[in-house]
Structure 1
Amino acid sequence: MRDKVILACTDCKQRNYTTKKNKKNTTERLELKKYCKFCKAHTTHRETK
């Protein structure tokens, strides 16, 4: 049930992180605050396709 998802920065659109999520429990897109090495700041990262 757990699928691998890619997280992209909302500011610079770079794909920085990969993580896993349970698609049965969380149907909407995952949003986490992570460090972006391209922006050099903590920004919101959203799940991409």
Structure 2
Amino acid sequence: MAKGKEARVGIILECTNCVRKSGNKSRGISRYSTQKNRHNTPIRLELKKFCPYCSKHMIHVEIKK
């Protein structure tokens, strides 16, 4: 068995456009949960996902859990 930290960790992806509009009349913030391999992807993950609040595909970045 492997010792130490596990390679797969759970992460949360958050819409960058909704976060910037949070001071204005934003209806919410789009968030997705997924997993990533810590050893293969040590930097913060950025994926293009659909945001239901913006009604289009936007860049979602990894945030702390």
Query: Which amino acid in 2 is paired with 1:2?
Result: R
Moved over 4 A (4+): none
Gaps of at least 5 residues in structure 2 are 1-6, 20-28
SS for the counterpart of 2:17 is coil
Give the Å deviation of 1:22.
0.5
Aligned partners of 2:30 and 2:13: how far apart in 1? 6
Deviation at 1:16, TM superposition (A): 1.5
Structure with the bigger percentage of helix: 2
Q: Which runs of 5+ in 1 are unaligned?
A: none
Give the secondary-structure state (helix, strand or coil) at the position aligned to 1:11.
helix
Q: Is residue 8 of structure 2 the alignment partner of residue 2 of structure 1?
A: yes
Give 2:26's aligned residue.
none
Match of 1:33 in 2: 48
Higher alpha-carbon Rg: 2
Residue-pair matches, total: 49
Identity among equivalent positions (%) equals 49
Identify, as 1 or 2, the structure richer in strand: 1
Offset, 1:15: 4.3
RMSD: 0.9
